[in-house]
Structure 1
């Protein structure tokens, strides 16, 4: 029996030896999981958008791996094999086993000990290991979310949006912008075009009119949508914009040699970024 367990542990370890390690400077409470309290929408979204499999599970067993199976793991971390009882499948196809097994690197405290995880409830985010039922490869070394009513609501809301066919994709760059002045003083419109990871068209429009509050909107189609509005905070589109866009618009991206138009376009972009507000990410993007 001991031989069989050793083989399983060694096999699981081999699957993830290339996984980027956690920063030793992270605190124990958040180094491997979004905490039950104090995390943010962006912290959870960072994990959901890259995880085809999401499980709600309770930790059953944690086994420390011997040094012979933790080559390359910093001395500040303890690599463990975790077995968890799966309560429900939140995202994924073809179901999942009743138990999940995965590797986890946990920072040690000053005495070289790690926190007790048994019976604690977490969301596990990652993907299946082909040909190995019940084995999970975490999306990142820290791709766990500690269960709380708040985290549950956030994670499920993000997942519902992320699985939609037209879900907003990762924004890679601003490809161009221009400002056009209106027919009367103080009237104008700025349009900003973005490149996404899958070629999904996204553009931002900012409209200024005398005597009216400036307003902006996002279109996610090939044609500018006149009925489009600005995304609500803590939605997937808001996250894509707030957490990916640079804080300032490079003048070189504005399609105009007119200094006044460039200045207006940059001012409109600042208005958008101020409206979006901070991304709110509190965790280092491990492996990014």
Structure 2
């Protein structure tokens, strides 16, 4: 089968011919229809992601597809059933073996492209805002990197949860996409003073921070007393220093959040969140945004779009 793999950390990943996996006990093999790209994949290529599979490794964290094989002890899934799955890696291939409890049935209200783009982006924003940040109706939410995969879902969900949403992104085109997702105010981080603009809007009660570096520092300065800052990632490439004395004086909560990390510590919360989100989508209450759909032969192009921040929402690779 085809698989888009990292062979070593010094050379770019390539499309290779590899053996098709088989299902061990507790696993299923999924015939992959589509795979969503994530910023974590880029970090994995260079060994900088928090999870480091042994090399050679197939990239691709989240998939949609059809169950092709069921291992011993798996009773809730059957061959031929449509599913979504999160394996952390292995998804950019014709077939993917993953733990059966990392899969969920997929009904006909969600197509394969949408499903492959759904789990990480919506799951991250929903749990981060509801469980970790405790976002309340009427509060002001600032989202940085707001046109990206997780950022855009944070804008959409924040607005649906009753917050006033400030979306910060680069360029007029991305800001228009943020407005369409529900942002009440937009800030162009290429030209605007982020701190001054947010303060002029009354400051932020919750900050959903995806970029790091100077953007984190500017957003931090605009956080209201008693506010919460949720650290989602460092898409800008720099982990920022934190002025802990300012946390103390302003009673600010600094909260880390990693969606995949909820699987070992609180899987029930993750699955409950995902179930809620899928029901919202089935009811027509969510509008996933996929800017690029590419075949697996162009997976490298998809990652370059992600690296250069030339995409909005999600990029999906089809098999």
TM range, smaller chain: under 0.3
Higher helix share: 2
What is the TM-score when the length of structure 1 is the normalising length? Answer: 0.26
What is the TM-score when the length of structure 2 is the normalising length? Answer: 0.24
